[in-house]
A and B are shown apart, each in its own frame.
Chain A
Amino acid sequence: MADDETVATPVDPDAVDGRLVLRLLWVVVRLIPVVWLMRAGETFLYQGF
């Protein structure tokens, strides 16, 4: 094998990485006020169109 060739490491599409954890955190951070407002009685109706 030539020196400048690199061996490609197989990537597991479901491997847990830092970006995935950050994304999950971002989902949770946004969900907190959503759930709070839902519990306070805010509705999301699309009715009768």
Chain B
Amino acid sequence: MSEGVQAFDLGTAGFWGVVLLAVLLLAALTDATWKRRAFAVVNLLALGLLVGPLGVLAALVAVTVGWAVGRALATRGFGPVFVVACLALAAVFGVHKWPWPPPALAPVRAAFGAIALSYVVLRIADMWHAVASRQAPAPDWLDTVAYVVPFHMLSAGPIRAYTAWVKEPVTTEPLTLHGTLDGVDRIVTGLFKKFVLAWLVDLYLFHDMASPWPWRFVEIQAFYVWVWLDFSAYSDIAVGMGRLLGVPAPENFDRPFLSRNIIEFWTRWHISLGDWVLRNLFQPMQLALVRGRFRKQPVAAASISYFVAFGLVGVWHGLLPGQLLWGVYVAVGMVAVNLYRAWLTKRLGRKGLKTYQANPWIRAVAVVLTFEFVAFSMVVQFYPQTLWGW
């Protein structure tokens, strides 16, 4: 870690002290405008304590650029400014993710890494899209601080839709005993998942994909469960903190192990990212294709859109072979599901498709296949080097 940038560790008393301080400072505010503004200021103070001065500087740079471009887009809408700004954002993100950075850039990367630039970029893009499409008004600087770098959702999301944030940036109901317990309970659920359950899975079932077959198969299942415990734990904590602060964090997981295909999986796993992709990539692309060359081929338009959108999600995760391969793997899975669904509809008709989907045996097989498809995708994403030895 570079000088001036601190680790964002949820396993320290210091972190929870900052959360408690923020909750106490905001708890008494019942006026929405005051609370919104107060959260922005408290948020900057919290960031100062949690990520250090260079982290705050990086946050201020990101916020100010996002806000200035957002203001410009409010009057100009979609056009050259939008295109250039999005390309510049993608270029900055590419430099940040570049696997072989020059040593001189290390402190800058550490500062932007501390504020999780990957998520910051998605929030800024969502804001620009909403403003340029006239779904949201021109942003205000303090509001942009609160939206782009919320300390309780900073490190691993969730990503709130800008339009939803504009509608309800804060809640103003006073904290009741039950409400406080709800928030604390959710935080403790997250901490228990991470510190106890994920720790146990790691200790007893997972051995860095080094087990011989057939234990490797068990390890692959365990790794998927471990990733869910670890990641959804952070989302539980963010949702719990959001309740206590009165600054809502959206739900990010909904029993992903029950997904019957990879398209449904993305509505249950990292939901806020799946929604972001739908709003900002998949739907605009699909719409453009069906209005253009693919007017009579909606299935092809959807397949191309799935492929490009989720291929880009792979790039977003990292410019590394495993992440890129994972993006292609997921995209191929989505296209396959889309084509299979289209083929079934053609063969069985809409009514027949419904009967097919309602069959519990077919559902059970689909759920197991999807579980294995996703479990294997985690190997592709995080342990691609082990694939060659199979």
A interface residues with partner B (beta carbon < 8 Å): 13-14, 16, 20, 23-24, 26-27, 30-31, 33-34, 37-38, 42-49
Contact A47 B7 (CB under 8 A): yes
Contact of A37 among B109, B195, B234 (CB under 8 A): B195
Contact B8 A47 (CB under 8 A): yes
Contact A37 B199 (CB under 8 A): yes
Contact B176 A42 (CB under 8 A): no
Can you give 24 A-B contacts (C-beta < 8 A)? A13-B176, A13-B177, A13-B178, A14-B177, A14-B178, A16-B177, A23-B181, A27-B181, A30-B191, A30-B192, A30-B196, A33-B195, A33-B196, A37-B196, A42-B11, A44-B9, A44-B195, A45-B7, A45-B9, A47-B7, A47-B114, A48-B109, A49-B113, A49-B118
Across the interface, name the chain A residue whose C-beta is closest to B117: A49
- Chain B's interface: helix, strand, loop or mixed, by majority? helix
- Cα–Cα, bound, A38→B195 (Å): 8
Contact of A46 among B1, B12, B116, B196 (CB under 8 A): B116
Q: A23-B181, A44-B10, A46-B156 are in contact. Are A31 and B114 (CB under 8 A)?
A: no
Across the interface, name the chain A residue whose C-beta is closest to B184: A27
Given contacts A34-B188, A44-B195, 14 further A-B contacts (CB under 8 A): A13-B177, A27-B185, A30-B189, A31-B192, A33-B196, A34-B192, A34-B196, A43-B9, A43-B12, A46-B10, A46-B155, A46-B156, A47-B1, A47-B8
- Cα–Cα, bound, A37→B9 (Å): 14
Tell me, yes or no, whether B67 is within 8 Å of chain A by CB.
no
- Cα–Cα, bound, A47→B1 (Å): 10
- Cα–Cα, bound, A20→B181 (Å): 8
- Cα–Cα, bound, A49→B97 (Å): 9
Tell me, yes or no, whether B119 is within 8 Å of chain A by CB.
yes
Q: A23-B181, A37-B199 are in contact. Are A49 and B119 (CB under 8 A)?
A: yes
- Among B306-348, those with CB < 8 Å from A are none
- Cα–Cα, bound, A30→B196 (Å): 9
Tell me, yes or no, whether B110 is within 8 Å of chain A by CB.
yes
Across the interface, name the chain B residue whose C-beta is closest to A30: B192
- Cα–Cα, bound, A26→B234 (Å): 20
Q: A14-B178, A24-B181, A27-B181 are in contact. Are A46 and B8 (CB under 8 A)?
A: yes
Across the interface, name the chain A residue whose C-beta is closest to B154: A46
- Cα–Cα, bound, A31→B117 (Å): 31
Tell me, yes or no, whether B194 is within 8 Å of chain A by CB.
yes
Contact of B11 among A27, A38, A47, A48 (CB under 8 A): A38
- Cα–Cα, bound, A20→B118 (Å): 39
- Cα–Cα, bound, A44→B9 (Å): 5
Shortest beta-carbon distance from B314 to chain A in Å: 15
Shortest beta-carbon distance from B178 to chain A in Å: 6
Shortest beta-carbon distance from A28 to chain B in Å: 9
Contact B7 A34 (CB under 8 A): no
- Which B residues lie within 8 Å of A16 (CB)? 177
- Among B1-57, those with CB < 8 Å from A are 1, 7-12
- Cα–Cα, bound, A46→B118 (Å): 12
- Which B residues lie within 8 Å of A23 (CB)? 181, 185
